[in-house]
C-alpha cells in the first residue's frame, strides 16, 4: 500500500514539475487586447462568459416583461414599442407572431446564453483551475476560442431577432415541421421559398449550431484540466463539490451538444436545401402538395433535440448544486453532510439524465410502451435529487449559520430546487401528462427548477466569489435588499402557474381571450404580471451593486469568508498564474470546518497538518476519501 502511495506521489510530483514548467508558456500579456479581449487567461475568459450571461439575462428578462404585458393587457398600444419594433408592433400593439418571437428569443437566450454560459463557462472557467491548484486550463487557446465561438453564436441570435421578416417563431424547441417548412406556409419569421437563409428561423438554427461548437470545446477543456492538472495531494475525493459539478456537467455537455449540433445541421438542410430529414411526404399547404418532401419524421427531431435537451437541464442546474453545496458548508461552518453521497448523487443524476428524454414526448406519437419505460426511469431520477436535498439539510443541522448574502441565495436555491423539482413527480407520469402536457404547470415546474434555482446558484456564486474575482466585496446591504424581493417574487410568479396549468392554460398562447375556460384565471394572470414587474425591477439593484462594487466596493482580503478551498489560498484577485509560481500542496478534504482542536473553526486545504505524517498515511491521488479518512490526525 505505502509503495503504491509513494509511487503515486512521485507521479504527482513529476506532473507538478512538468506543469510548473508550463507556467512559462504564457506570461502575463501586456497589451489591452491580449489582456482583456482575446485573452487566454481562464480568469478573464470566465469574466467574459459572466458578462455575456449578464447581458443575455437582461435581454431575456425584458422579453418576459413584454410577454406578460401582452398577456395581461392584450391589444393595448405601447408607444415605445412602436419605435423599437415598427413591424412586430405596428401601432404599438404586439402581433401574435411578435409574441411568438418573444417566446422563442426568451427561451433561447435564457437556456443557452445564460443557464449554460454563466454557471459553467463563467464560474467553472474561473474557479475550476484555481480550485484544483492549476495555473490555467489545459488548453488556453481552445478556451479563448470556445468563448469567442459562443459570442459569435450570440451575435447571430441577436441578428435573427432583427432580420427582415421578424424574429424566429418556432419556440426554443424548434419543432419541425413548423420550423422546417414554416416559410412555405407563410408563417412570419420563418423566411419563404425564396428567402431560405437570411430569416429569423434559419439564423436561429445557425446560432444554436455555433453555440454547440463553443460548448463542446469548453467541455473538452474542463475534463482534461480536471483529470490532468490537479495539484499534489488533490485527490478526486478531496475536490470541492463545485469541481465535481463542473466535471459532471462537462461530461454531459461533451455527449449532448454533438447530438444537437447534428440535429441543427439537418434542420438547416431541410430549411435551405429541401432535404427531408424531418418532413414527411404528402403534406399540403391548402393549394398544392409539398412534393419536394418525402420520408422524413418530425418525431426524429424531438428525439435528437431532447436527447440533448434533457441533459441540458442538468447542465444548467448541476453547477448550481455544486456552488450551493460549497457555499452552504462554508457559511454553516460545518463539513458537508455525506460528501461521497453528494458526488455519487451528482453522477447518478448525470447518468440517468441521458435515459429520460422521452418524458418530453409522451404525447408526441411515440410508442406508448416506450413512454412507460421513460416514465419509470424519470421518477427514479428523483432519488438522487432527494439525496442531495437531505444532505443539504443535514449540512445545516447543528450548524452555526452565518447569514451572508451568498448564503441566503444558497438557501434559496435549496428551497426552489425542492419546489420546482418535486412537481416532476406529476409530469413524469404518463397518465398525468395527458392533461398537464404543454400547460402552464410545465412552465411553473421548469422555471422554478432549471431557471430560477439555477439563477439563485449563480447569484450565490457571484456574491461569494466576487471578492476573489475583483478584490473587493459586494455590498452586503444591497445584496440583502436584492435577495428579499427576488426570493418572494419568484415564488409569486411561478407558484400560481401550476394552478393555471391544472385549470388547463396552454403555453405559448399569445392571448387567452378566446377561451371561456380560462376566464377564472384572469386575476392570477394579473397577479403574476405585477410580481414579474417588481421582481425584474429588483434585479437592477444587483447590476448596480455589481458594477459599483468593482470600483468602489470595500477592499477584500485573501479569504474574507474564512473558507477552506484553494481559491482562498491565493491573493484577491489571483495573479496571472494563480498561485504566484508556487504550486500549493493539498493536505485534506475541501470542507474541514469546526474541526475539534484546530486553532480556528476552519482548516484550509493547504494548511499542513500538525502531524506531518498524515499525507503519507492516507494521501495520494484517487485513493482517499474526503470523509473520515481525510482527518485521522484529528480523530486520535
State yes or no: residue 376 binds other proteins (CB under 8 A). yes
User: CA 407, CA 502: separation in Å to the nearest integer?
Assistant: 34
* Binds other proteins by CB under 8 A, chosen from 241, 260, 414, 469: 414
Q: Find the binding residues for other proteins in span 482-511 (CB under 8 A).
A: 487-488, 491, 495-496, 498-500, 502-504, 506, 508-511
Q: Please report how close the Cβ of residue 434 comes to other proteins at its closest, in angstroms.
A: 5
State yes or no: residue 584 binds other proteins (CB under 8 A). no
- Cβ-count burial 246-274 (b if 16+ within 10 Å, e if not): bbbbbbbbbbbbbbbbebbebbbbbbeeb
Q: How many CA atoms lie within 13 A of 255 on its CB side?
A: 16
State yes or no: residue 349 binds other proteins (CB under 8 A). no
State yes or no: residue 3 binds other proteins (CB under 8 A). no
Show the site string, 317-336: x = touches other proteins by CB under 8 A, - = not.
Answer: ---------------xxxxx
* Binds other proteins by CB under 8 A, chosen from 51, 255, 396, 530: 396
Are 392 and 335 in contact, with CB atoms under 8 Å apart? no
Q: Please report how close the Cβ of residue 215 comes to other proteins at its closest, in angstroms.
A: 25
- From 564, 50, 117, 109, select the one nearest 319 (Cα to Cα): 117
State yes or no: residue 29 binds other proteins (CB under 8 A). no
Q: Find the binding residues for other proteins in span 254-293 (CB under 8 A).
A: 279-287, 289
117 vs 330, which CB is nearer to other proteins? 330
Q: Residue 472, SS3?
A: strand
State yes or no: residue 91 binds other proteins (CB under 8 A). no
* Binds other proteins by CB under 8 A, chosen from 97, 312, 567, 614: 97
Give DSSP secondary structure letters for 60-98.
HHHHHHHHHHHHHSTT---HHHHHH-TTTTGGGPPPHHH
* Binds other proteins by CB under 8 A, chosen from 58, 142, 262, 422: 422
CA–CA distances in Å: residue 469 to residues 114, 130, 551 = 19, 11, 12
Q: Please report how close the Cβ of residue 95 comes to other proteins at its closest, in angstroms.
A: 7
- From 522, 483, 518, 486, select the one nearest 504 (Cα to Cα): 518
Q: Residue 564, SS3?
A: coil
Show the site string, 183-222: x = touches other proteins by CB under 8 A, - = not.
Answer: --x-xx----------------------------------
State yes or no: residue 181 binds other proteins (CB under 8 A). yes
- From 416, 420, 494, 419, select the one nearest 457 (Cα to Cα): 416
71 vs 118, which CB is nearer to other proteins? 71
State yes or no: residue 610 binds other proteins (CB under 8 A). no
User: CA 96, CA 622: separation in Å to the nearest integer?
Assistant: 57
123 vs 487, which CB is nearer to other proteins? 487
User: CA 508, CA 261: separation in Å to the nearest integer?
Assistant: 25
User: CA 32, CA 193: separation in Å to the nearest integer?
Assistant: 46
Q: Please report how close the Cβ of residue 408 comes to other proteins at its closest, in angstroms.
A: 7
With contacts defined by CB under 8 A, name the span among 37-45, 191-199, 227-235, 368-376 that binds other proteins: 368-376
User: CA 575, CA 46: separation in Å to the nearest integer?
Assistant: 15
* Binds other proteins by CB under 8 A, chosen from 154, 446, 587, 593: 593
How many residues form the binding site for other proteins (CB under 8 A)?
A: 120
* Binds other proteins by CB under 8 A, chosen from 47, 66, 323, 387: 387
Q: Please report how close the Cβ of residue 628 comes to other proteins at its closest, in angstroms.
A: 6
User: CA 616, CA 233: separation in Å to the nearest integer?
Assistant: 10
Q: Dig out the grid coordinates for 260 from the structure.
A: 444537437
State yes or no: residue 339 binds other proteins (CB under 8 A). yes
Q: Please report how close the Cβ of residue 91 comes to other proteins at its closest, in angstroms.
A: 17
Burial of 434 (0-12, 13-18, 19+ CB in 10 A): exposed
Q: Please report how close the Cβ of residue 161 comes to other proteins at its closest, in angstroms.
A: 16
* Binds other proteins by CB under 8 A, chosen from 297, 607, 617, 632: 297
Residue 177: asked if its preceding bond is cis (omega within 30°), the reply is yes
Q: Residue 618, SS3?
A: helix
Q: Please report how close the Cβ of residue 474 comes to other proteins at its closest, in angstroms.
A: 16
273 vs 425, which CB is nearer to other proteins? 425
Q: Find the binding residues for other proteins in span 425-464 (CB under 8 A).
A: 425-426, 428-432, 434-435, 437-439
Amino acid at each position: 500500500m505505502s509503495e503504491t502511495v509513494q509511487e503515486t506521489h512521485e507521479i504527482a510530483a513529476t506532473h507538478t514539475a512538468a506543469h510548473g514548467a508550463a507556467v512559462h508558456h504564457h506570461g502575463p500579456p501586456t497589451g489591452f487586447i491580449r489582456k482583456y479581449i482575446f485573452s487566454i487567461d481562464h480568469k478573464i475568459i470566465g469574466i467574459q462568459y459572466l458578462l455575456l450571461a449578464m447581458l443575455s439575462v437582461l435581454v431575456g428578462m425584458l422579453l418576459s416583461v413584454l410577454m406578460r404585458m401582452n398577456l395581461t393587457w392584450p391589444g393595448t398600444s405601447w408607444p415605445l414599442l412602436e419605435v423599437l419594433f415598427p413591424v412586430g408592433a405596428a401601432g404599438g400593439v404586439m402581433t401574435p407572431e411578435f409574441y411568438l418571437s418573444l417566446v422563442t428569443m426568451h427561451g433561447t437566450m435564457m437556456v443557452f446564453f445564460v443557464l449554460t454560459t454563466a454557471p459553467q463557462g463563467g464560474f467553472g472557467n474561473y474557479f475550476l483551475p484555481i480550485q484544483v491548484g492549476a495555473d490555467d486550463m489545459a488548453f488556453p487557446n481552445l478556451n479563448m476560442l470556445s468563448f469567442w465561438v459562443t459570442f459569435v453564436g450570440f451575435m447571430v441570435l441577436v441578428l435573427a431577432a432583427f432580420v427582415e421578416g421578424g424574429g424566429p417563431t418556432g419556440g426554443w424547441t424548434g419543432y419541425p415541421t413548423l420550423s422546417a417548412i414554416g416559410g412555405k406556409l407563410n408563417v412570419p419569421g420563418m423566411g419563404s421559398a425564396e428567402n431560405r437563409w437570411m430569416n429569423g428561423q434559419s439564423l436561429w438554427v445557425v446560432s444554436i449550431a455555433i453555440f454547440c461548437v463553443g460548448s463542446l470545446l469548453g467541455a473538452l477543456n474542463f475534463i482534461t484540466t480536471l483529470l490532468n492538472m490537479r495539484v499534489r495531494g488533490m485527490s478526486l475525493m478531496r475536490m470541492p463539490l463545485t469541481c465535481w459539478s463542473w466535471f459532471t456537467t462537462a461530461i454531459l455537455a461533451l455527449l449532448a451538444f454533438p447530438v444537437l449540433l447534428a440535429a441543427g445541421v439537418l434542420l438547416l438542410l431541410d430549411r435551405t436545401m429541401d432535404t427531408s430529414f424531418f418532413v414527411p411526404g404528402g403534406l399540403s399547404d391548402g393549394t398544392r402538395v409539398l412534393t419536394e418532401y418525402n420520408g422524413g419524421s418530425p418525431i426524429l427531431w424531438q428525439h435528437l433535440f431532447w436527447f440533448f435537451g434533457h441533459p441540458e437541464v442538468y447542465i444548467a442546474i448541476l453547477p448550481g448544486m455544486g456552488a450551493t453545496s460549497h457555499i452552504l458548508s462554508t457559511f454553516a461552518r460545518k463539513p458537508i453532510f455525506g460528501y461521497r453521497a453528494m458526488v455519487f448523487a451528482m453522477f447518478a443524476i448525470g447518468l440517468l439524465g441521458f435515459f429520460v428524454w422521452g418524458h418530453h414526448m409522451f404525447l408526441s406519437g411515440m410508442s406508448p410502451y416506450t413512454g412507460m419505460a421513460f416514465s419509470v426511469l424519470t421518477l427514479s431520477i428523483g432519488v438522487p435529487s432527494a439525496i442531495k436535498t437531505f444532505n443539504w439539510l443535514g449540512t445545516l443541522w447543528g450548524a452555526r449559520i452565518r447569514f451572508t448574502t451568498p448564503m441566503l441565495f444558497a438557501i434559496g436555491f435549496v428551497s426552489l430546487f425542492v419546489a420546482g423539482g418535486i412537481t416532476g413527480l406529476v409530469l413524469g407520469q404518463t397518465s398525468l401528462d395527458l392533461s398537464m402536457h404543454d400547460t402552464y404547470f410545465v412552465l411553473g415546474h421548469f422555471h422554478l427548477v432549471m431557471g430560477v434555482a439555477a439563477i439563485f446558484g449563480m447569484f450565490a456564486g457571484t456574491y461569494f466569489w466576487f471578492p476573489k474575482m475583483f478584490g473587493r466585496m459586494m455590498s452586503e446591504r444591497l445584496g440583502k435588499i436584492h435577495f428579499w424581493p427576488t426570493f418572494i417574487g419568484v415564488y409569486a410568479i411561478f407558484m400560481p402557474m401550476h394552478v393555471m396549468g391544472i385549470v388547463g392554460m396552454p403555453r405559448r398562447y399569445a392571448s387567452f381571450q378566446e377561451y371561456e375556460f380560462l376566464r377564472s384565471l384572469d386575476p392570477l394572470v394579473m397577479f403574476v404580471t405585477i410580481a414579474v414587474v417588481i421582481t425584474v425591477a429588483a434585479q437592477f439593484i444587483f447590476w448596480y451593486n455589481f458594477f459599483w462594487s468593482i470600483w468602489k466596493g470595500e477592499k477584500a482580503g485573501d479569504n474574507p469568508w474564512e473558507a477552506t478551498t484553494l481559491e482562498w489560498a491565493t491573493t484577491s484577485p489571483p495573479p496571472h498564474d494563480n498561485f504566484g509560481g508556487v504550486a500549493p500542496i493539498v493536505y485534506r478534504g475541501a470542507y474541514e470546518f469546526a474541526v475539534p482542536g484546530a486553532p480556528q473553526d476552519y482548516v484550509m486545504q493547504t494548511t499542513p497538518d500538525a502531524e506531518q505524517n498524515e499525507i503519507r498515511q492516507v494521501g495520494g491521488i484517487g485513493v482517499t476519501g474526503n470523509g473520515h479518512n481525510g482527518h485521522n490526525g484529528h480523530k486520535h
